[in-house]
Chain A
Amino acid sequence: MSAIRVLVGVLGMDQHEVGAVAIAKTLRDEGMEVIYTGCFNTPETIVRTAVEEDADVIGISSHSWEYLYYMPELIELLKRNELDIPVVLGGSVITEEDAAAMRAKGVAAVFGSGSVMSKVVDAVKSLAARDTAS
């Protein structure tokens, strides 16, 4: 069985990479292939890279409020291109209210403050399995 492929990136002007780097390392330690795109991404560059790299899951790390705007754009772009790639959003700035709003927009899983890494890993595995099964 081939390894799960996860794209991990940060959107817009958010340059706080600490969380993104940490989760990328954790996913690698779990045997996944991580395509780390770093900062200064747009929804377009994320989707393009996800397609080129055949990613099973897209992971977005956020430490700025830009996710409120970029995440709906990213989900919309995936839909418009008929791409069924689940998106996971994580970041300590994400409040309970925002997490609910993001899930309503179509983000598959949201991890706000206090999230445990193992739960993020489990969510990625589960979403990748769902993708493979379909």
Chain B
Amino acid sequence: MKENSTRSGIKLSPVYRPATVDEDYGKRFGNPGEYPFTRGTRAYSGQGWIQRELSGEGDARRSNEQFKYLMGLGQTGLDVIGDSPTMSLMDPDHPLARYTVGTQGVSLCCQEDYRQLLEGIPLDQMSISSSAPSMFTVAGLYLVAQERGISPTVLRGSVIEWPFYAEHCSYAYKMPFDLHLRMSCDVIEFCSKHMPRFHGFLEDTYFFSEAGLNAVEEAALGFVEIRHIVRTLLARGLDIDSFAPRIAILTNCSMDFYEEIAKIRAMRRIYARMMKEEFGAKDPRSQAVNIAVHTSGLSLTTEQPANNIVRGAVQTVALGLAGVSALEISTFDEGYRTPSKEAHLVGLRTQQVIDLETNINSVQDPFGGSWFMESLTDQVETRILDMIRDIESRGDPAELVASGFFKQFFHGTMGRYHHQVQDGQVIKVGMNVHQMPAAEDTLLRDISEEKIPPLFDRIEQLKTWRAARDHSRLIDALTRVHDVVQSGENMMEAVLEATRANATMGEIAGVMRQAWGTPYDPYGYLQSPLGGEQ
């Protein structure tokens, strides 16, 4: 461990504690790396957080170049987002997808895409997080590692599981809830057995938080989903300590500086207590949840985009003080697009300046012991727990999904946030105060006019590629997926085999829906390769 001091030469202890450590300190806070992990899940290492920026645009080759560009800038992890069709389990040649292929993320639908996406990436060294559908991301990553002679047991990274809220406020799977939940549980179970260093369950509160939720609402809804998925996995007969060490949370970070720090401290404590006291987890790793953060896109403005650089920096300081495991900054051009090359550079450099120049990582949980911060953490925690209780008192969370409870909730928060900004309750410099005439608002504006055209060529290439596949092998593999869905077995092995047989994500997802008795193509355009009722 390195010895830290200020620039004036004042020696710093990596952790500061009360002069007299009493029982209350142990119960409410604990040292970093100790239950209930309020002050952090790891003992002091001085290494800071994994630095990454959201990436993915165009096709897999273009995104691979983007990865290498970011790694060349010193990025220490990857975070991939698919384009809208990819995020919604649709192939790029789906008629509804054509104008968006590759424009707000990378277009991925088959194993060859994953080969190209990950070409030259050191899979055994680089943490790879993905927002793309978990079952197909895990399959792609697992198979590429195998092909390259890398044991999947060394893979690190994460995939998002979002059966509760995806349909309402992020990217629709158009999967029946029970099937979506089963997909998530199958992935988590598979990863716990075959990819033990990989987080097969990333609870992503970021996506739904962008519907305008406050910190308490975001965390409460996240815990409702975590609890339900954990209960479902336990009902399968899994041991809590077999999968809980690989649950992580990706949160949002708004501009409410202190509350965001308190939220993260409170979330670590709630998670630890839930795992230990409610679910009986014994492994300390099962109780210590890693929290990664994506700074808020909703907090950014399209007016005076340079102001967004400041917003990203302020949020990054908050997160550094809260002790997060990984971080990505929503770039200054996010109001218009997924990050441009220039915005990626600024985002990553912002992280690096704060990490390397400010000494921010010299002390762990520097707000620990602050009367204000401890009080705020307690209050945030109490409110989160109250809201979880309130939601669960309304009925089984799965039934609440089906009844539209969460959809209604999100629609309320979407309108609420916009009106708060319009009314000036939420202050936005450059937007509702200190505005600038459009003609003068030119700084960094040129980037907003740059656009990535849809990949019409890819659509045509995919159609040709489809026709050239081994049709018999493909149908056998898809039939196996269909049967496994109906049998209730874990679907991952069948999905791996179908992926090897060059089935696309859209085909596999469609066959799953078909086996469940719902339409192969929920949008009504496509026919199933297996025939039968659509």
Looking at the assembled complex, report how far the CB atom of B456 sits from the nearest CB atom of chain A, in whole angstroms.
10
In the complex, what residues of A have CB within 8 A of residue B212's CB? 18
Whether the Cβ atoms of A64 and B100 lie closer than 8 Å is yes
A residues at B contact (CB < 8 Å): 12-15, 17-19, 21-22, 24-26, 39-40, 42, 64-66, 68-70, 92-93, 95-97, 112-114, 116-117
Given A25-B415, A93-B336, A114-B435, A12–B99 Cβ distance below 8 Å?
Answer: yes
Q: Is B88 an interface residue (CB 8 A)?
A: yes
CA distance A40 to B431 in the complex (A): 30
Whether the Cβ atoms of B414 and A18 lie closer than 8 Å is yes
CA distance A35 to B173 in the complex (A): 24
Per a CB cutoff under 8 Å, which of B172, B417, B435 touches A15?
B172
CA distance A95 to B336 in the complex (A): 8
Q: Is B96 an interface residue (CB 8 A)?
A: yes
In the complex, what residues of B have CB within 8 A of residue A24's CB? 415
Residues of chain B in range 97-117 having any CB-CB distance to chain A below 8 Å: 97, 99-100, 103-104
Residues of chain B in range 433-466 having any CB-CB distance to chain A below 8 Å: 435, 438, 448-449, 451-452, 454
Whether the Cβ atoms of A22 and B415 lie closer than 8 Å is yes
Whether the Cβ atoms of A21 and B99 lie closer than 8 Å is no
Q: Beyond A22-B415, A97-B449, A116-B422, list 6 extra A-B contacts (CB 8 Å).
A: A18-B211, A21-B415, A64-B100, A65-B337, A68-B99, A70-B99
Given A96-B438, A114-B303, A114-B435, A66–B415 Cβ distance below 8 Å?
Answer: no
CA distance A40 to B97 in the complex (A): 10
Whether the Cβ atoms of A65 and B451 lie closer than 8 Å is yes
Q: Across the two chains, which residue of chain B brings its CB closest to A19? A: B418
Q: Across the two chains, which residue of chain A brings its CB closest to B167? A: A15
Q: What are some 8 contacts across the A-B interface (CB < 8 A)?
A: A13-B100, A18-B414, A22-B415, A40-B523, A64-B103, A65-B337, A65-B452, A65-B454
Q: Is B469 an interface residue (CB 8 A)?
A: no
In the complex, what residues of B have CB within 8 A of residue A68's CB? 99, 451
Whether the Cβ atoms of A113 and B301 lie closer than 8 Å is yes
Q: Which of B99, B337, B435 has the most CB of A within 10 A?
A: B99
CA distance A97 to B445 in the complex (A): 11
Whether the Cβ atoms of A18 and B100 lie closer than 8 Å is no
Whether the Cβ atoms of A21 and B88 lie closer than 8 Å is no
Whether the Cβ atoms of A66 and B100 lie closer than 8 Å is yes
Whether the Cβ atoms of A15 and B88 lie closer than 8 Å is yes
Q: Across the two chains, which residue of chain B brings its CB closest to A18? A: B414
Q: Across the two chains, which residue of chain A brings its CB closest to B422? A: A117
Which 4 A-B pairs have CB atoms at the shortest separation, nearest pair first?
A113-B302, A22-B418, A13-B84, A25-B415
In the complex, what residues of B have CB within 8 A of residue A40's CB? 96, 172, 523
Q: Across the two chains, which residue of chain B brings its CB closest to A20? A: B414
Whether the Cβ atoms of B100 and A95 lie closer than 8 Å is no
CA distance A25 to B85 in the complex (A): 28
Looking at the assembled complex, report how far the CB atom of B411 sits from the nearest CB atom of chain A, in whole angstroms.
5
Q: Across the two chains, which residue of chain B brings its CB closest to A93? A: B336
Given A64-B100, A96-B438, A18–B210 Cβ distance below 8 Å?
Answer: yes
Looking at the assembled complex, report how far the CB atom of A70 sits from the nearest CB atom of chain B, in whole angstroms.
6
Whether the Cβ atoms of B448 and A15 lie closer than 8 Å is no
Looking at the assembled complex, report how far the CB atom of A122 sits from the nearest CB atom of chain B, in whole angstroms.
14
In the complex, what residues of A have CB within 8 A of residue B85's CB? 13
In the complex, what residues of B have CB within 8 A of residue A113's CB? 301-303, 335
Q: Is B419 an interface residue (CB 8 A)?
A: yes
Whether the Cβ atoms of A39 and B172 lie closer than 8 Å is yes
CA distance A24 to B412 in the complex (A): 12
Whether the Cβ atoms of B88 and A93 lie closer than 8 Å is no
In the complex, what residues of A have CB within 8 A of residue B335's CB? 92-93, 113
Q: Is B169 an interface residue (CB 8 A)?
A: yes
In the complex, what residues of A have CB within 8 A of residue B303's CB? 113-114
Whether the Cβ atoms of B99 and A15 lie closer than 8 Å is no
CA distance A86 to B418 in the complex (A): 25
CA distance A116 to B452 in the complex (A): 28
Given A18-B211, A22-B415, A114-B302, A95–B449 Cβ distance below 8 Å?
Answer: yes
Per a CB cutoff under 8 Å, which of B96, B170, B414 touches A12?
B96
Q: Is B171 an interface residue (CB 8 A)?
A: yes
Q: Which of A21, A26, A68 has the most CB of B within 10 A?
A: A21
Whether the Cβ atoms of A18 and B417 lie closer than 8 Å is yes
CA distance A66 to B83 in the complex (A): 12
CA distance A26 to B171 in the complex (A): 25
Given A13-B97, A69-B99, A113-B335, A64–B210 Cβ distance below 8 Å?
Answer: no
CA distance A112 to B301 in the complex (A): 12
CA distance A119 to B389 in the complex (A): 42
Whether the Cβ atoms of A15 and B171 lie closer than 8 Å is yes
In the complex, what residues of A have CB within 8 A of residue B419's CB? 22, 25-26
Looking at the assembled complex, report how far the CB atom of A63 sits from the nearest CB atom of chain B, in whole angstroms.
9
Whether the Cβ atoms of A64 and B302 lie closer than 8 Å is no
Q: Across the two chains, which residue of chain B brings its CB closest to A67? A: B99
In the complex, what residues of A have CB within 8 A of residue B171's CB? 15
In the complex, what residues of A have CB within 8 A of residue B418's CB? 18-19, 22, 117
In the complex, what residues of B have CB within 8 A of residue A96's CB? 438
In the complex, what residues of A have CB within 8 A of residue B431's CB? 114
Whether the Cβ atoms of A15 and B103 lie closer than 8 Å is no
Q: Across the two chains, which residue of chain B brings its CB closest to A113? A: B302
In the complex, what residues of A have CB within 8 A of residue B298's CB? 18
